[in-house]
Structure 1
């Protein structure tokens, strides 16, 4: 019963995607119905020929030619009608699956950042690609095949009862047996199919991990270990697939063929028991032909049940993503007029970690000030920056931007006014122009001005197509420092109220760093600048330096004040100074 409870809601929800194409669907079903009738007419015509012409030796050429022409026309019409209904069903399937993929992609884009901390990327990719492809078969294969098979069964049974009702009753015995087989098949196949799709997603995830970490894998000679991991998932997928194939091999064609053979034996027994003349040879031929044809749609229904189960399991995985909680933002569209920040009693820990990363943080930052967060690795600097970006919901404490609680501010206002340059910025496999504008309406002249400001203009001019040159995947044709400069260039397109730099100058040479410092100083005039610094030499001019230690605010003050205290900051600064 559990399978039935899961099955129908998911199937109903998947079928909603074909609702906009109702008219086309009706036309496709009419074509399919007409094609099935044309297909079934053949044996009736042959039966008439055997009973009324061949057995009576009445060779009327006009009647014979009429039967032949009708037979050929019915088969040609069946071919054409089935061709057009197949095209129409496929068009509906492709359009429906495109809409489903858009919904899945939209759901993926709206996922909370915390989900990407724990969920393997390959699992999500599998839902967008493999699972939607499995659902596509529901629309273009399962639905038309099931409908065609059911129509054929009813038409064949109608023809059988019209010709000879007693033999038709014998043929009808196969239906309850097939339904029993289908229910047994569903009970055993669903858990196996669920496992198979999970292992397929695992294979995708491990391939994704392997390709992204290829440099590290080769450097530390981990090829055999990763090959073993992928082989293990592949073997588990293979075992699940083989179990399904064995199930198919036993419960589908061989067993159904055996049932058809038994029904045919009953026909022969029934035919031999009745007196001569009760059953005509033509009727026996028609019944044998129909039984063969009845076998095929029954096998098709049971085979499609396997595909249907795969579609349902894939749909279950897809809807688990679509229905998962989305990144939450407030509704306030009130613009931020300043970069004032107030952090009140913030304590925070990640989803799968019980220990607090931040503990009772209280910081007041005035608008258009230069603030630095410093501390050893794991002190909570980047976590605090992520909270200022609104990436994670707050359970303990509050953050106020321009006197507005961060959880009340809309996504549009937050992303317009609070921006971050990350330590490892993302570069899209697109043009330089798009990587800077990101779809925002900006002139080429302004882009060149920005490139000049971040000292990338000479590099871009050396490229064949200038700002329309395609950057490699993840910016592989750029150095780490150049990626940082490109990320800063994106920021210069707009003027946010708060700009956060997460060790953004850590990978830039000292000469370029000084130029970037000048750029940042000019940005400071218009916004609050928050820098997570590794190099303390870059923050000596900060209005406020916040020293974090084990998730707590350990020290607060200017560079000079903290040096006078001769505490944690003083030790860090002295240590770095002694290295140069």
Structure 2
């Protein structure tokens, strides 16, 4: 019964999304009942015609015209109301999916940063796009068909029992058989459908990886390898789909058609044996017609099992994302008055099974100071910066910002007061203005002042729409250096208490770098500046230089003090001097 335990809670949760539109659903359901009733009354009219006019040879023109007009009217009524119920259900489905997609996306962007370290982006994209689209079918196809089919079945059975209850009892035998088939299908299809969704998400991930790395793939002539990889993933998806199709082919329409044929034979046998006692030709016609009509909604219900199961599996994946642990922040909303940083006994590893990246870090950083972090690759510089940003939970040790534990500071205060410029900045496919303001109310005059500071004003002026020129996807119309300058412009629009630069000037020419260094040094009037640097010439004016090696602070002091100490820093600096000069 485990599959039932998984099935019903997810279905119940998906149905709850429809509650805000319950009035429109009731109206659509009313249209559905009227349309279905009009469909079912038609065979009763034909049955009356056969029993009372054809069999008795009473061909009254008025009666025949009345029956014809009534039959045509009922068919038009059925088409009219079925059309409107379909429109209503589809409108409701689109609104529900918009709400669900927003919830999924909201949950995705609130994921802890470490989730993106281990989870392929394609898997998340698949949940937001493909899985929500599958669930859309639940609302605009499955539910309407189920409602309509159940309504038709009830009305048809009522009509059958009204006409002749003996044959109606025979017809009802099909229902428990259908229920057994549906339960069997549900049990066997769930793991197969779950595998289908996983394979599809894997294909999305492969495509995402291929498109993002297209430069490297073409440069190293890896097209065939990636083509084979995508082909292999597609083949796995094909095989998974074929298993579902084979199951559908056996348990759904063929088996149902066989059961319907057996019931029809029972009708014919009953009529042959008992026709002189209770049955009339018109009743037999009506029952044969109703069996065909009854067969279709039953087949529709069974066929929808496949889509229903896909929706449940998609819902399971989506709710796993929605329910997953979000980035945790504190509740303290007091504004940070200073950019003072104190780090106490800080040790950290990304995985509990790995060795510590940082080991027993202790440092006091005064407010409005210029601090540099240097060290070889893998020494822990970027990890320390990520912890200062609050991206990862701290389990061993503490970080205090303005004498407040970082874990106690609220999200809004943390993001307003501590910002980072990364080596590979993210540029939105939007205007220059939007990329700098990022939702903050700021005047065009202020934006132009910032662009002059970062030496981008001439570039923006040369573009057709100036500040409102649209940048390409990921800012692909800009050079790497221009992207970094733009990311620094964002910071100047915010004026944070603490600013971290993670190799932010690595791809900028020397002349522009000096301009940026001058700008960044000037903002220490109000801001604590922490710079991660490999190019040591950029941090010789730092108030404190922290030298990290294997996750430990091995040296700290000013540029001159560290040179005089003739340790790690001195060797690194003289090596770079000899390399460049």
Same fold (TM over 0.5): yes
Counterpart in the other structure of 2:253? 253
Q: Quick check: 2:39–2:74 contact (8 Å CA) kept in 1?
A: yes
CA shift in 2, pair 1:465/1:121, >3 Å: same
* 1:100-115 correspondence to structure 2 within 5 Å: 100-115=100-115
Counterpart in the other structure of 1:122? 122
1:365-386 deviations in whole A, cap 9, x for unaligned? 0011110000000000000000
Counterpart in the other structure of 1:460? 460
How far apart, CA to CA, are the structure 2 residues paired with 1:128 and 1:41?
Answer: 44
1:490-512 deviations in whole A, cap 9, x for unaligned? 00112111111001111111111
Counterpart in the other structure of 1:445? 445
Q: Quick check: 2:370–2:521 contact (8 Å CA) kept in 1?
A: no
Q: Quick check: 2:107–2:326 contact (8 Å CA) kept in 1?
A: yes
Q: CA deviation at 1:352?
A: 6.9
How far apart, CA to CA, are the structure 2 residues paired with 1:483 and 1:135?
Answer: 39
For the residue of structure 2 that corresponds to 1:433, the secondary structure is helix
Q: CA deviation at 1:351?
A: 3.1
* 1:205-216 correspondence to structure 2 within 5 Å: 205-216=205-216
For the residue of structure 1 that corresponds to 2:359, the secondary structure is strand
TM-score by length of 2: 0.99
How far apart, CA to CA, are the structure 2 residues paired with 1:352 and 1:291?
Answer: 64
Counterpart in the other structure of 1:42? 42
Q: Quick check: 1:114–1:351 contact (8 Å CA) kept in 2?
A: no
Counterpart in the other structure of 1:474? 474
Q: Quick check: 1:343–1:399 contact (8 Å CA) kept in 2?
A: yes
1:23-76 deviations in whole A, cap 9, x for unaligned? 111111111011110000010000000000011110111111111111001110
How far apart, CA to CA, are the structure 2 residues paired with 1:110 and 1:242?
Answer: 37
How far apart, CA to CA, are the structure 1 residues paired with 2:171 and 2:471?
Answer: 67
How far apart, CA to CA, are the structure 2 residues paired with 1:353 and 1:439?
Answer: 41
Q: Structure 1 stretches of 5 or more lacking a match? A: none
RMSD in angstroms over aligned alpha carbons? Answer: 0.8
Counterpart in the other structure of 2:405? 405
Q: Quick check: 2:113–2:327 contact (8 Å CA) kept in 1?
A: yes
Counterpart in the other structure of 2:504? 504
Counterpart in the other structure of 1:317? 317
How far apart, CA to CA, are the structure 2 residues paired with 1:323 and 1:384?
Answer: 29
Counterpart in the other structure of 2:533? 533
Q: CA deviation at 1:278?
A: 2.7
For the residue of structure 1 that corresponds to 2:354, the secondary structure is coil
Q: CA deviation at 1:353?
A: 5.3
Counterpart in the other structure of 1:289? 289
Counterpart in the other structure of 1:194? 194
Q: Quick check: 2:142–2:308 contact (8 Å CA) kept in 1?
A: yes
For the residue of structure 2 that corresponds to 1:313, the secondary structure is helix
After superposing on structure 2, the runs of 4+ consecutive aligned residues of structure 1 that deviate more than 4 Å are none
Q: Quick check: 1:419–1:498 contact (8 Å CA) kept in 2?
A: yes
Counterpart in the other structure of 2:91? 91
For the residue of structure 1 that corresponds to 2:18, the secondary structure is helix
Counterpart in the other structure of 1:178? 178
* 1:554-565 correspondence to structure 2 within 5 Å: 554-565=554-565
Q: CA deviation at 1:439?
A: 1.0
Question: How many residues end up aligned between the 2 structures?
Answer: 580
Counterpart in the other structure of 2:332? 332
How far apart, CA to CA, are the structure 2 residues paired with 1:546 and 1:433?
Answer: 36
How far apart, CA to CA, are the structure 1 residues paired with 2:154 and 2:74?
Answer: 18
Counterpart in the other structure of 1:24? 24
How far apart, CA to CA, are the structure 2 residues paired with 1:80 and 1:196?
Answer: 38
Establish whether residue 519 from structure 1 lines up as the match of residue 530 from structure 2.
no
How far apart, CA to CA, are the structure 2 residues paired with 1:539 and 1:115?
Answer: 33
1:373-430 deviations in whole A, cap 9, x for unaligned? 0000000000000000010010000000110110000111111110111011000000
Q: CA deviation at 1:151?
A: 1.0
* 1:233-382 correspondence to structure 2 within 5 Å: 233-276=233-276, 278-351=278-351, 354-382=354-382
Counterpart in the other structure of 1:222? 222
How far apart, CA to CA, are the structure 2 residues paired with 1:301 and 1:11?
Answer: 16
Counterpart in the other structure of 1:492? 492
